[in-house]
Each structure stands twice: as structure tokens, then as C-alpha cells.
Amino acid sequence: MKKAIFFDLDGTLIDSERYYLEGAYVWMKEQGFTGTVEDLYGTVGVTFDESYRLMQSYLPHLTVEDVRRINEDYFLNREPLRYKKLLFPETDRVLKELAGKYTLCICSNDPKSELDHFLSECGYEDLFTHVLSCEDIKNAKPDPEIFLKARDLLGLNSEECLIVEDSFCGIAAGKASGIYTTARKSPFPCDQSAADRILETLNDLTEVLKEFSMSEDNTIKIVGRKKLEGEVRISSSKNAAVALIPATVMGSDIITLYDVPHISDIAALKELLAELNIKVERKDDALIVDPREIRNTVLESEAVGKLRASYYFMGALLGRYKRVKMKMPGGCDLGPRPIDLHLKGFRALGAQINYVDGFYTIEAPELVGADIYLDFASVGATINIMMAAVFAKGRTVIDNAAKEPEIIDLSTMLNKMGADIRGAGTSSIIINGVERLNGCAHEIIPDRIEAGTYIIIAAACANHMRISNIIPMHLDALLKKLEEMGVNMEIGDDYIDVFESKELKGTSIKTLPYPGLATDLQQPLTTLMTQAVGVSKVRETIYKERFKHCAELNKMGAEIEVLDGNSVINGPTPLFGTEVRATDLRCGASLVIAGLIAKGETTINDAKYIYRGYDHIKEKLRALGAEIS
């Protein structure tokens, strides 16, 4: 949970640097200066120190204190907070709403007197817990110390804080503090109006908090036995997006991804892009990635450990730069998940690999195409090798490649950028190396796992639900099993209608690589099986330890026995609300389904895992009639 937000108010909210410039400019005009603001300051943003030096070139006797006094006398005091009307009602509403959820602090490089003036004029004295200025750390430049001091004053851990910054140096200071730092899309030009700056800042902050709302609340509460009804639109594929976003580092121009889901995995990937000096802009559901000023640096932030898919930067950066160094990736705990097949593919292309102190260093003088056979049709290895091979000399053939739709989606985008990839979606993928990739625009495919989860939810507790924006062919294995269980469905071109089923029958399932039944749907389907008549059996062939959800379901009244790589479910059993824990993403989904059908209230702890892969899950379920908070 992000318990505190630290604002750098000088640029982020009150735009005080511009106060200095405009206040000083008014004073200079009164001294007989006949030029324009552009003459005095240029057309790009300048700092207070730079403006002071420029003013000195016209009036050599000026001191720094003179300029501060000029600002107060000729700007703030003559026109007290001239932009105050711009701060209301929107800034007022946003800040007061945030104050209800978070502790707010000001950590600014402005003098304390100006910050106090701002708070007094706006009536915000009680809104901010601490006001720290440059005077508190004796440093007029952005410094990590100011954020660390605020954190310590509040008695919080770094992971409980969020820094909102707007300048390159401020962003760097925030990151150096080890606290998560978010920024506006880009520092604004000096000639942009204060109204526009404030509006864009608020829009950006709203977008940031949308993505981090999932980490604000680590508990989900559900009152069960509410019949659901209505339509739910499926978001774009999480598993595709987490490969497509790392692939953008391979381009030499802007890539625009459409229909990007609002999930915490995307936020973590944006952090990694920022580490590589890549500009990322969010516009509604689109993500605009500008890799033109990329720097191949070591990836070592906490974001690497937040998701398994961070390893896709290995293939992407190795392909583009012939070298990558990064921390061992993280993700959900699903048992052993080695990346040996990824490394085998990199070695086949000519790379040397070293693993020291938790870091992989993978490098090659050049990459050369090769014939690579995967011992197992691994999605991650297929994607990683495919990306590295795009820039390899000659032809690469990946045999026994994974066939998942997400691989086809990645191949489609890379080909739009100028790659030469054939056979994606089959067991043999051929990549002819190219020297350069360009930018492109690409719409991400719908999420087949989210779609499957909502179809299972509908089968469990809906009168009638339409699941739209889907590709039914991607769900063929699941749909056949649901039909076998007696689920009443009608399948359209891009939707499925699910109707109430009077009695479900037990079945047996076996997880397999695509086009078989997805391992990610095994856990949600297990919950539905607890409501089916007879014995159901699960055989897990992908992740043999993926049964942690069973113990949690048993707490709710299920009768599930877990063996080695298998489970046996006796049903139907009534489920009862209690306190349970999401141990991973799809375990969390299975518990949400259980909570919806259970009697009483279910509390799901560690809901952060659920937010990794389900876009606005609470809002979507509420719209269908669920009681969830």
C-alpha cells in the first residue's frame, strides 16, 4: 500500500519557478528592459539559477537575494497567487481526495516562505503533514536526502511511499532515494501556460494512480451469492503486452501500443523502460514508447523482481546491443521456473553468459543465426530467442517452438517494425536477421486468460453474462471442457453468452501448451469444479506445484486432495466466506470466483497478485452486480 505521496510542488503544482521568471521579468520591464521574455530567458525552460545569471548580464549588481525579493515584491505580493483560480476546483478536488487516502507531504527545493505562502493562500495548511524545503537539507538542488527525511519523519518504509516529480534532476533524486518515483510525461517548456501545466500534471497523476490503485489496497472483500448479469468487455492480453513492451526497445522510432491494460505488470515494465532512458507516455488505453534516446544500462531496480516477464529484456537488449546485464527476474511463485532454455538459445546464437551475485551478463561480439531445438515448447524461451535472433546475421530456426497467440502477436508487431519472421503460431519459426527496426502502431490482442476467467465466473454465478471482445478460437480447449460440464453457452464471432446452468457435472482436465488447456486457467476452473456433481480430476503438466489455491479453497469448505502434479475434487460442496490468501495471480482469480459463490463474506489478502493480471477487476464485477470492495 502506498501510504504517502511526496510532491515536488515547485513545478508539479504551483509552478513557482515560473513565478520567479515572470516576477523578475515584470521588475526588469519596470527598470527599462525593452525585450521579451524570450529575449531574457530563451524559448526553453530555465532554472532559477540560470535566470539569475541572465538577469545579472543586464544588471550586474543583482544578488540572489535581490531576485528572491523581486519575486515577492513584484509578483506574489502584487498578484497573490495569480494562478489560484487555476488550482480550483480540479487541483483542490484531487488533493483533498488524495488526502483522504494518503499522507501528503511537500518535498520542494523552494524556500520555506514561498511554500508557506502557497499553503496559506490555498487553505492547505492542514492538508500536508510535512513541508520540507531546500532549507531543511541545506541544498538548493534536488537531493535524495529530502525524500528520505520525509519518509523517516513519517516512520514509513520506502515501498510505502510514492514521489511525484516533474524535472529530470528531481526524477533522478527520487530514484536515487530508492523510493518509487513517477513523473509527468515530460518536463514542460517554459512558454507553456500555467493552466496547461497544472491540467496535464493532474491528468498524469490520475493515470499514475489508476495503475497504482491495485497496490494501494492489498485486500479484496466479497459478499457472495449475488447473481451476476450484464456484459463485461475483456481487456487486451497481459501475456502479450509483457512481451510487446520489452520489444519496443528494439525500435529506432516511436511505437504506439493500443488497448494496453491497466495492470501492475505494465507499471513495472514502464519503470524498466525509464531506467533505459526511454520516454513513455500513457494516453487513455494507448502507450506511446519513444526509444530514440535509449541507453543500455544495467537493469537492477525492484521492478525486475516484480514480474517474470522482465526477462524479455534479455532477448531484446541482447539483440539490439549484443550485451545485456540484469538482475534475476521475479514473478509469481509457481515452483521451479528455470530459464535454461532461454540461455541455451542465446548461446546457440553466439552469446557468452555469466551469472554472478544475482546478475546475468549476456554478451556476444556478434550474433549469428542458428538452428535451435527447444526441449520443451516454452513460451518465454520462444519469445526471448525470437527477439535476440531478429538482429542476428543470417537465418535462425526455432524448432518445437511454442504456438501461443501471444507469440503470433509479437511476431506481427516485429514484422511491422521491419523484422522478417515466418511461422509464428507453428512449431517451426524462421527468423531472417535484419539490421534495423523502425517504429509502428499495434493493437494488442484480447486476453484469453481474462476471458476464460470471466466465462468461468459466469458459469459459476450468473443468470446471463456476455463476455465480449474475445477471440473464441483462443479458448477452444476451455470451451470444450465447459460444454462437457454442462455449461449453457452461445458462441458468437467476438463474444460468448453464458446462461445459468442448473447442474454441472464433474470432469477431468490436463494442462498442456497451446492449443491445449492453459495452465493459467487450471486454478479458476478448479473452483468451478467444486460446484460440479461427482469427482473432478486435474493433471498439471506445466507447473507441477501450481496447487497452492487448493489449501485456500479447502478453508472455504472445498474437498480437494492434492497429489504430485494432480488434484482430486469432490463436489458439489457449499463454500463459506472466510479469510484466505492469494499466493499467486491465478490463485487469486480462483479465490475471487470462490468468494462470489460462497455464503457470507470472503476476505482475500495479498490481492496485489490479482492486480498483476486483471484490469479493473473490482469495477468490472461491480458493474455485473457483485458486492466487492
Task: Determine the 3-state secondary structure of 6 from DSSP.
Answer: strand
Phi and psi of 162, rounded to 5°? -135, 130
- Classify 347 as helix, strand or coil: helix
Judge whether 595 and 224 are in contact, CB under 8 Å.
yes
Cα separation, 275 vs 301, whole angstroms:
8
The x, y and z cell numbers of residue 26, run together, are 515584470
Amino acid code (one letter) for 12: T
Q: Are 259 and 285 in contact (CB under 8 A)?
A: yes
Give the number of other CB atoms < 10 A from CB of residue 416.
Answer: 16
Those residues whose C-beta lies under 8 Å from the C-beta of residue 113, and which sit 6 or more positions away, are 72
Could you tell me the three cell numbers for 99?
488526502
Angle between helices 522-529 and 476-485 (to 10 degrees): 10
Cell numbers given for 623: 458493474
Question: What DSSP assignment string belongs to 136-147?
Answer: HHT-SS--HHHH
Element (H, E) at 467: strand 462-468
Q: 332 an active-site residue?
A: yes
At 446, give phi and psi (nearest 5°).
-65, 155
Residue with cell 527545493: 109
**Are residues 303 and 278 in contact, defined by beta-carbon separation less than 8 angstroms?**
no
- The CA–CA distances, whole Å, from 299 to 269, 295, 310 equal 11, 11, 9
Longest dimension (CA), the chain: 92
Q: Tell which residue, 592, 580, 522, 521, has the closest CA to residue 556.
A: 580
Q: In the chain, how many H helices and how many E strands?
A: 26, 28
107, 332, 440, 461: which one is catalytic? 332
Q: Give the helix/strand (H/E) hosting 97.
A: helix 90-99
Whole-angstrom distance, CA of residue 509 vs CA of residue 550: 15
- Quote the Cα angle for 331-607-617, to 5°: 105
Determine the 3-state secondary structure of 130 from DSSP.
strand
Cα distances from 434 to residues 291, 343, 345, 556, in angstroms, run 18, 22, 18, 55
Q: Can you tell me the distance from the alpha carbon of 572 to that of 576, in angstroms, rounded to the nearest whole number?
A: 13
CA–CA distances in Å: residue 370 to residues 185, 351, 408: 41, 12, 21
Distance between CA atoms of 50 and 114, rounded to whole angstroms?
19
What order do you get walking across the sheet with 428-432 strand by strand? 371-373, 395-399, 428-432, 420-422
CB 511 within 8 A of CB 541: yes
- Positions marked active-site: 332
